Amino acid sequence: MDAILVINAGSSSLKFQVFGVHDSELRRHLRGQLEAIGLRPRLQATGAAGEVLVDRQFAVEEVPDLPAAVALAHEWLRGLAEVTLLAVGHRVVHGGPDYSGPVRIDAPTLANLAAFEPLAPLHQPDSLATVRRMMAQDPDLPQVACFDTAFHRGHPEVADWYALPRSYYDEGVRRYGFHGLSYEYIAERLREVAPDIARGRVIVAHLGSGASMCALRDGRSIESTMGFTALDGLPMGTRPGQLDPGVVLYMLTTMGLDANQTAEVLYRESGLKGLSGISSDMRALVASADPRAAFAIEHFAYRIGLNTGMLAAALGGVDAFVFTAGVGEKAPSVRARVAERLAWLGAVLDEDANTAGQTRISAPASRLAMYVIPTDEELMIARHTLAVLRGGSG
């Protein structure tokens, strides 16, 4: 079976999926992950019907780092007799000003993308390390980069400029937006779920460990809450979201933090983790009776409400609101708090539908349609990779 391998790399985990290619159709063949890399490495994978294909623990020295994890996962996949890999699609968070669509990766492309590592330090270095390892291990296997920034490249210029000297824009300092693979999938899926709504003005909230929101008009991104880096916009698991730049200057000068210490606070110690002092995981906060957890959740919902107003202004009104990603799909109590913040837009929640996790969770009397639509970034990556392989633009 010809197949596309999709890889999403993190510092301590490697997630992968294999999609079989059947003419022009992609079918998910298996999904897996290698987690707790360098601690308690464990390789798990399940087939299309949920059957366990592998569940194996490894010694730390066997999988000490991400390159070793890539080698192990690749070797296991090569042992599957029924799978012939045609290409590998990689989620790459930051494409910068040069990449507006998926591209086949060569050495110059890899060097260009490495320049954006400081702008996405939680994701870009691991993604590129994975690409390098795959290229070294199997030089003839095409590698394709699919960017989280690409879907937003059609924004009007007025939305993407900062009020800085023009030379900064020329250097690439501009608002890019992220989670584009997720928003692209939701835009396509919405055409199936609610075609009339899909042609209108829709706000999508990608709420996970990383969180952002996107304004869609007729399925196209026109504004996003994230900007130059994935620090902007909503509070996230460990990132603060929107922040007065003066706070950063204060940290660097008056508080005496250096650049690395400041980055550590902004990328790893803030957001829900910093607000609650308990956890970055929304599941732990929802389950906690600590008032600090409740405050962190309320702050999260409050900022979603504020950003909804901004995006509604960009759209000139809003017809629907879509929840997606881990928190958006699996936390009905958080959705209910957000819906309260959207009452000014005419949002009325159907509590039973929300608790049950149905696709449409707004009541019949609601002026604002509200949906829960699971995202599928991996499928988008597979589609883009196959299109590049066949000579298209993705």
**Predicted local distance difference test score (pLDDT) of residue 334:** 97
Mean pLDDT, range 200-215, rounded to an integer: 96
Q: What are the DSSP calls for 254-317, one per residue?
A: TS---HHHHHHHHHHS-HHHHHHSS-S-HHHHHH---HHHHHHHHHHHHHHHHHHHHHHHHHTS
Specify which residues 207 forms β-bridges with: 211
pLDDT above 80: residue 22: yes
Mean pLDDT, range 269-273, rounded to an integer: 96
Mean pLDDT, range 107-132, rounded to an integer: 90
Contact between 237 and 303 (Cβ < 8 Å)? no
Per cent of the chain over pLDDT 90 is 79
How does residue 126 score in pLDDT terms, banded at 50, 70 and 90? confident
How does residue 75 score in pLDDT terms, banded at 50, 70 and 90? confident
Contacts of 272-281 with C-beta under 8 Å, sequence gap 24+, read: 272/235, 272/236, 272/237, 272/238, 272/296, 272/297, 272/300, 273/237, 273/238, 274/238, 274/240, 275/235, 275/299, 280/209, 280/237, 280/238, 281/209, 281/237
How does residue 78 score in pLDDT terms, banded at 50, 70 and 90? confident
Mean pLDDT, range 204-221, rounded to an integer: 96
Residue 160 CA to its chain's centroid (Å) = 20
For residue 137 the two structure tokens come to: 């291990």
pLDDT above 90: residue 113: yes
Contact between 229 and 120 (Cβ < 8 Å)? yes
Burial of 15 (0-12, 13-18, 19+ CB in 10 A): middle
Q: How are the residues of the chain apportioned to helix, strand and coil, as percentages rounded to the nearest 5?
A: 40, 20, 35
pLDDT above 90: residue 252: yes
Q: What separation in angstroms does the CA of 226 have from each of 91, 163, 232? A: 18, 16, 5
The edge-to-edge listing of strands for the beta sheet with 369-372 is 220-224, 211-217, 201-207, 320-324, 369-372
Mean pLDDT, range 84-112, rounded to an integer: 92
> What residue type is assigned to position 111 of the chain?
A
How many Cα atoms within 13 Å fall on the side-chain side of residue 59?
Answer: 2
| Pair type for strands 220-224 and 211-217 | antiparallel
- Among the listed residues 173, 164, 81, 91, the one whose alpha carbon sits nearest the alpha carbon of residue 124: 91
**Predicted local distance difference test score (pLDDT) of residue 35:** 87
Q: DSSP letter for 360, please.
A: B
Tens digit of each residue's pLDDT (9 = 90 or more) over 127-151: 998 999 889 888 999 999 999 999 9
Distance between CA 226 and CA 220 in Å, rounded?
16
CA R_g for the chain: 21
Tens digit of each residue's pLDDT (9 = 90 or more) over 314-366: 999 999 999 999 999 999 999 999 999 999 999 999 999 999 999 999 999 99
pLDDT above 90: residue 98: no
**Predicted local distance difference test score (pLDDT) of residue 118:** 87
Distance between CA 290 and CA 292 in Å, rounded?
5
Active site residues: 148
Element (H, E) at 108: helix 107-114
Tens digit of each residue's pLDDT (9 = 90 or more) over 193-202: 999 999 999 9
Q: What separation in angstroms does the CA of 161 have from each of 165, 169, 170? A: 10, 7, 10
**Predicted local distance difference test score (pLDDT) of residue 177:** 94
Q: DSSP letter for 117, please.
A: G
Per cent of the chain over pLDDT 70 is 99
Specify which residues 309 forms β-bridges with: none
Distance between CA 290 and CA 136 in Å, rounded?
49
Mean pLDDT of the chain, nearest integer: 93
**Predicted local distance difference test score (pLDDT) of residue 394:** 54
**Predicted local distance difference test score (pLDDT) of residue 239:** 95
Q: What are the DSSP calls for 17-39, one per residue?
A: EEEEEETTEEEEEEEEEEESTTT
Neighbour count for residue 140 (Cβ, 10 Å):
5
Residue 154 CA to its chain's centroid (Å) = 19
- Comparing 67 with 198, the larger pLDDT belongs to 198
pLDDT above 70: residue 260: yes
- Comparing 121 with 288, the larger pLDDT belongs to 288
**Predicted local distance difference test score (pLDDT) of residue 392:** 63
pLDDT above 70: residue 11: no
**Predicted local distance difference test score (pLDDT) of residue 166:** 95
Phi, psi of 92 (to 5 degrees): -120, 120
